[in-house]
Structure formats: structure tokens, C-alpha cells
Chain A
Amino acid sequence: MNIIPEAEAKIRIAKRIARKFSESSKKIIINLGVGIPTMVADYIEGGNVCVQAENGMLGVGPVAPEGMADRQLINAGRQPVTETRGCCYFDSSISFGMIRGGHIDATVIGAFEVSKTGDIANWVIPNGKQLGVGGAMDLVSGAKEVIVAMTHTTKDGKPKLVKNCSLPVTGIGEADMVVTELAVFCFEDGEMVLKEIAPEASLDLIRSLTEAEFKVDANLKTMEV
């Protein structure tokens, strides 16, 4: 059983990450994965955030309204999107040059599991039905900051923050921040540190739902929801 209904949890996670970007005092370039990460764009405020899509666009605008979709103008989740003023297009090699070359300030990705040392598993559940990796391995190794957006537990209530990933990994020690509906963690010197806790959660509850060991920040805050 989950403490917060899934739909509400996803919005809360997206809003928390959006706030981090909205608070940026300088121009930042971000890349958003599919799922909760895409929702982050809906809550970003201020004019300092520019979204890159790995299929070849910088300055991605909101999802195209009904009837305005152009099937040749899509984001990496294949959603029809719109242009922003000053947007530009480029081929996939330039796009991944931006990503691998360290020109993207932050990427937000979903995940199945994150380990206590920041390993991320997000590309495949080995059930024989999936055969695809996407750009996640390039993104986690190349973006300056890797932010994982995921619910705290699986639908069955199993922890997703684990000692060691049991699923095939996307990258080793690449996570910088994990935002769930119950907590915010950052990785500092290879260790997971609890930074914020949701108003309805206690430290005991977080410990019971988190398999990975973590430190508690001396300045632990209540997550703004």
C-alpha cells in the first residue's frame, strides 16, 4: 500500500524538481526523460530554463494542443510539441555531443532502482519483452547533474532505493539526487544523504521503506508540497 496515491505522488515529485530549476538564478539547459520527468516541464516557472530533447531540439515548448500537432515535431517521448522563441534543431550526433560533452546542466530520468552508491537501473526489466536502451546511458554519463524522479516504492510497496541494484544497470554511481513523493536524497562523496522529508512521513517510515543505508543531513528539512 502506498501512503500517497500514485497520481498525486507523481505530481508532487515533478513539482519538487521543477522548483529546483525555477529557483536557478542563471540560464540552465535540461533534458527530461519520459514519464514523471516529462511532467516537470509543466511546473517550471521563470525564464531561465531551456529544455533539450535528444532527438534534436533545443528550446522545446509545451506539448502541442489538440489539432495543432505536427508529427515531424516531437520530443524524445514521441509527443508532438511546440517551438519556443529562439529554438533550434540539429542532428542526433550534435545532440549527443551536447549530452556527452557536458553541455547539459541536468537530466531528469525515471528509474526502477537506485543503489546506495548512486547506481541507476532504468532501462530494462529482463522479462524477454523489452529490447531497447534509448539515450539513458549517454545521459547519465554525460549530464552535469543526474536527478532521478521515481516513486519511493514499487506498486507492491517494495523499496526502490536498494543496497545493490538487482536489475541491469544504466550507469555506475551516476545519480546526484533522488526525489520521491516521501523524500529528497542527494549523493555526497558517494554516500546517500536524506535532505528532505515529506510532511506526512516520519524518519522511521522512510527507514522502513528504504533498503539502502543513508545518512540524515544535520539540516533535515520538511519537503514543501
Chain B
Amino acid sequence: MEASKNMIGNGKIRSVDEAILLIKDGSRIMVGGFGLAGNPDCLIDALTKSSVRDLTIISNDLGAPNTGLGKLLTNGQVKSLIGNYYNWNPEVAKAYNEGVIDVKLLPQGTFVEAIRAAGVGIPAFYTPASVGTELSKNKEIRSFNGRDYVLEEAVHADVALIKAYKADALGNLIYYKTARNFNPVMAMAADLVIAEVDEIVAPGDLDPECIITPHLFVDVIVKGGK
């Protein structure tokens, strides 16, 4: 993905279509959002109109049938999923049962911590969640202070598509209400981070005390339609 980064050149602001051209077949793509809050809608829409395929999508959920991220599955662009909750899109269970896609399910807290770990240079971590359940099968269990924990590995991506409220031209980001969810964490855990925002302002126009994602995590900024 270093090659893709070099293609960006000076300045981070691009059009949605230019940004999507940086994504290759077979990529592992993280996408922010929880339900319909905090999704990078314009980037998702452009991705579903592109010919990119064999994707691994790393996201909390997969929208609804033929809606949002769900469209990628309807289009046959998905190879596998890593995520948490697909009950809002019954097409996921259907495709999985038919052997069309592979699905790796993680508890929500484990899912986000695995992404955070990738972003902060931690290869794996122990968590109490899922001990004794189907989701910890074939994973290492270790006891600390008399309690069992399951070893979970970090989840890294080639590309992260995230949604923020405002960016400055450097790529500092602030978010809006519960649209924040997985976005700041995913911004740390991919080789190429593309942020869709409602508004782009000049450096210095965002209060430095309020910036949630520091600019070094962000490679490309696109302005989405409101």
C-alpha cells in the first residue's frame, strides 16, 4: 500500500472517485459506522459502483439488504467478513450458509479492541469476553489471577473508510455525536486511511483541544454530500 500512498502526492484532499481508485481487488477494508450512524455513505456508494472485488470487509455490521455496505454483498464484491452483528442484514447468513462468503464473528468489544491493538502496535491481547463460548473455540485460554481469558489477535486492514464531521486540510478530525463509534479506532489501523467529512476547514480553525483524530493517521480527505 506504500505505492498507493505515494500516488496521493501533496495535499490530502481528493474527490470521492479519485479516492476509490486507490483501492485494489482483494483488499482488506475497514468501514466505520454502527447501524446507519457514522457510515462513510459517499465512499461506500462509490465502492459499490466500482469494479473492485474479492474484498474482505471489516465492519460492525453490513447495513441492510442492498443498502449501504449490504450493496457490496448483493453485487458479489465480498469474499469475507470480519465483524460483529449481521442480524440487520439476513443476506449475510444466507451467503455464509451457501458457502459464498467466509464470516469471522467477534464480540463487539473484542472486535474494536483488535482494531485498536493493530493501530497501536500490539499483536494480540487477552480478554475475558467469550470465554466458555463457541466464539473462543480453538483459541488460547490463559488464566491470570484466577480468571480465564482468551487470546485474540489484532485486526489490521489495507484501507480504512471512515466518517468524520469536520476535517482541517491537514487531516485533523472531529466527530458528531454517536456517529463517532468505530471511526477514530479504524483511523489508526489501516495502511491507507480515507476520511469522508461534511466540511473541510483551514488548519487552525478546529480547536486543538477538541481534535479526536490527529492528522498523521489520515491520508486522504474527501468531502461527502450532506
Contact = CB atoms under 8 A, between A and B. Distances in A.
Interface of A: 53-57, 70-76, 78, 89-93, 95-96, 99-100, 128-138, 141-142, 168-172
A138 B34 contact: no
A168 B87 contact: no
Given A137-B129, A168-B134, A172-B132, A131 B87 contact: yes
B181 A91 contact: yes
A92 B86 contact: no
Contacts of A70: 177
Nearest to A75: B178
B107 A138 contact: yes
Q: Is the interface of A mostly helix, strand, loop or mixed?
A: loop
Contacts of B154: none
User: A-B pairs with the 7 shortest C-beta distances?
Assistant: A96-B109, A138-B109, A132-B85, A172-B132, A135-B108, A137-B107, A132-B87
Given A133-B105, A168-B134, A72 B38 contact: yes
A130 B85 CA distance: 9
Contacts of B109: 54, 96, 99-100, 135, 137-138, 142
B77 interface: no
B103 A131 contact: yes
Nearest to B86: A131
A169 B110 CA distance: 17
A182 to B, nearest CB: 28
A131 B105 CA distance: 8
A6 B71 CA distance: 37
Contact of B93 (A90, A100, A128): A128
20 contacts: A55-B34, A56-B34, A57-B178, A72-B179, A73-B177, A74-B35, A76-B34, A89-B180, A91-B182, A91-B183, A91-B184, A92-B185, A100-B109, A100-B127, A129-B93, A134-B84, A137-B133, A141-B131, A169-B133, A170-B133
Contacts of B179: 72
Contact of A132 (B34, B86, B177): B86
A134 B183 CA distance: 17
Of B103, B110, B116, B129, most buried by chain A (CB within 10 Å of CB) is B129
B182 A92 contact: yes
A57 B105 CA distance: 24
A96 B113 contact: yes
A138 B110 contact: yes
A138 B108 contact: yes
A93 B93 contact: no
Nearest to B175: A89
Given A74-B37, A132-B105, A138-B108, A56 B178 contact: yes
B22 to A, nearest CB: 25
